[in-house]
Amino acid sequence: MKRIVVIILILGSLLVPSVVSAESGTSTLPGIEITGRTGDGNWIDNTWKVTMYPGEQKSTAVTFKNPSLRDITLALSATPSVFDDGNVIISLDNSTLIVPAKSEACAVISASATGSATPETYSAEIRIEALPPPPSVTTNNATRITWFGSTLNGQLDGLGNFSSMSVSFEWGTSPGALDRETHSRPKSRTGAFRAWLYWLSPNTTYYFRAKAEGDGTIAYGDELNFTTKKPKKPFWWFWWWWWWR
């Protein structure tokens, strides 16, 4: 029974920081810091307050700093964004903002009023959401290169927002023109994958790149190449095969 009580205490202690982080999830962006807010009007806590006349446009720039080692993509939206039959508009310069690793990026929030705008107070909410990193794949060097085949190697580094992706290799004999593709297979976790190419021509350079596809979103690795070996001895059956193919 004492063990049960200990388990409850451990779970309870874990629960406290969990609830705290859930609360902060509505007011902070993990991995992102807001380092500057400049421009027209005033920032009071989390509210941009600006006074303007009809015919004017006011704006404020918000600087985001990403101290992490990976790029972070932010999705920004204003709700509502149109007031007074279109005479007052609150807008953002971009709906998505990529904050590079160890760097900063800026988003501009603007408010504009036409000459016919009705004097009044208008309120909107800007939602800033950190998007999951896009899927990424790496092409690794080919291995087991023989005079008639090779093993292509790739690495699925991230699935982005997808639970599963189809991985394959595109390949061909001309750089930048990879007109053939290996059979794709589903992959639901990051990690290495490979494909075996055979019936290749000896002493020929082949180009290839890794590919990961999920619901229309495609990620490619860099294009690499390998050259099949020369056959050491031209066996009689090789020449027969050469003629046959």
Partner 1 sequence: MKQFLKKRWHGIPVGIVSGVLALVLVAGGAFAAYSFTKVQVEVVVEEAIVLGYNWCGYSWAEGDGDDLAPYMVGGAVVPEIMLEEGTGGYDLDVTIQKGDGVDASEFCPGETLIIPLNLRNKSDGSLTLDITNGGTTALDIAFKVNSGGWADSVNLAMAGHLGAFGSDVDCDGVQDAGSTCLYIKVHAPGDCPPGSQTFSLDFSRS
Closest separation in Å from C-beta 176 to partner 1 = 39
28 binds partner 1 (CB under 8 A): yes
5 binds partner 1 (CB under 8 A): yes
21 binds partner 1 (CB under 8 A): yes
Residue whose C-alpha is closest to residue 112's, from 62, 61, 56, 60:
56
167 binds partner 1 (CB under 8 A): no
Which of 11, 101, 192, 218 binds partner 1 (CB under 8 A)? It is: 11
Tokens of 147: 């005079």
Q: Residues 6 or more apart from 39 whose CB is under 8 A from it?
A: 58, 59, 60, 61, 108
Closest separation in Å from C-beta 85 to partner 1 = 13
163 binds partner 1 (CB under 8 A): no
Q: Tell me the Cα Rg of the chain.
A: 28
Euclidean distance between CA atoms 185 and 168, whole angstroms: 7
114 binds partner 1 (CB under 8 A): yes
Euclidean distance between CA atoms 198 and 226, whole angstroms: 13
Closest separation in Å from C-beta 57 to partner 1 = 8
Amino acid letter, residue 9: L
Euclidean distance between CA atoms 107 and 126, whole angstroms: 11
70 binds partner 1 (CB under 8 A): no
Residue 36 sits at φ, ψ, to 5 deg, of -160, 145
Which region, judged by CB under 8 A, interacts with partner 1, from 6-14, 97-105, 147-155, 188-196? 6-14
Q: Based on CB atoms, which residue is closest to partner 1, 68 or 201? A: 68
- The end-to-end CA distance of the chain, in Å, is 75
53 binds partner 1 (CB under 8 A): yes
Which region, judged by CB under 8 A, interacts with partner 1, from 12-20, 164-172, 180-188, 213-221? 12-20
Tokens of 65: 């700093």
Q: Based on CB atoms, which residue is closest to partner 1, 4 or 69? A: 4
Q: CA–CA distance from 140 to each of 135, 160, 209, 226, 228 (Å)?
A: 17, 20, 8, 11, 17
**Contact residues: partner 1, CB under 8 A:** 1, 4-5, 7-8, 11-12, 14-15, 18-19, 21-22, 24-30, 46-58, 62, 78, 88, 90, 109, 111, 113-130
